[in-house]
Amino acid sequence: MLIELPLAILQAGMHILLDSSVYILFGILIAGLLKIVLNPDVIFHHLGRGRYSSVLKAALFGVPLPL
């Protein structure tokens, strides 16, 4: 009885990890492809100047990321 709760927690954690593993691997793949494709100089040109337009571009680009 005392061991059932920790085992249930471990099983639930493992179930969540297995369910999310496909999405984690997909995210790592997309991040790797973006790292290869995007040139850091282009990103700095659009987002690294500290102007209001850079902040607006970063905000617009970041809005769909959680989706």
The pLDDT tens digits of the residues spanning 7-58 come to 999 999 999 999 999 999 999 999 899 889 988 888 888 788 777 888 888 8
In whole angstroms, what is the distance from residue 58 CA to residue 24 CA?
23
In whole angstroms, what is the distance from residue 9 CA to residue 39 CA?
44
- To the question of pTM greater than 0.85 for the whole model, the response is no
Is the Cα dihedral 59, 25, 30, 50 positive or negative?
positive
The confidence score (pLDDT) of residue 61 equals 82
